[in-house]
Amino acid sequence: MSILQSLASEWAAQIVCAVADVNEDGAAGTYTVKVPLPENTLLLNVIWSNDVLWGAGTSATLNVGDDTDAALFMNAVDVKAGPAAGRSLTPAQGEGSMLFADVAPGFYPDGGNVIAEVVTVGADSSLGRSHLTVIYAVMPPIHPVAVKV
């Protein structure tokens, strides 16, 4: 269990695992999925997995980020090449240009979105089948306490 998961458990947080499917449909362009994060959310992990590699003619490039940075978690990942079918990729594996260890744990006091975007170029196919999995903890409300000094 990670330190973040341990803290979330001690604080009586609700742990959520949300999965969004992304399927190549035969048309070149941009495929976007969003996983909404409620208020007081602590992001624990972001996982991309392929059931079938994407088959776009020229390229299929993945970015995963949030509302403020489109490539915060994964940047310019070639989903025609990997991860292999049945395998997954997390930011800590470093396939993109940013490692999760370089990102401060994501606390979203006002909520937000984790957004995955695959841009395909060239003759497209209907092969690609992938999933974006977002694991987060919804923290209980924090109430400020007055301290007399």
Per-residue model confidence (pLDDT) at position 95: 46
Per-residue pLDDT in tens (0 to 9) along the chain, 149 residues: 555 555 555 667 899 999 999 998 888 899 999 999 999 998 988 999 999 999 888 899 999 999 999 999 899 999 988 888 888 888 766 444 334 444 445 889 999 999 999 999 988 778 889 999 999 999 887 666 667 77
Domain borders along the chain are: 3-138
Rounded to an integer, what distance in angstroms lies between the CA atom of residue 45 and that of residue 91? 8
Per-residue model confidence (pLDDT) at position 56: 82
Look at domain 3-138 and name its CATH class. mainly beta
Report how far Cα 93 is from the mean position of its chain's Cα atoms: 13
pTM to 2 decimals?
0.81
Rounded to an integer, what distance in angstroms lies between the CA atom of residue 137 and that of residue 41? 6
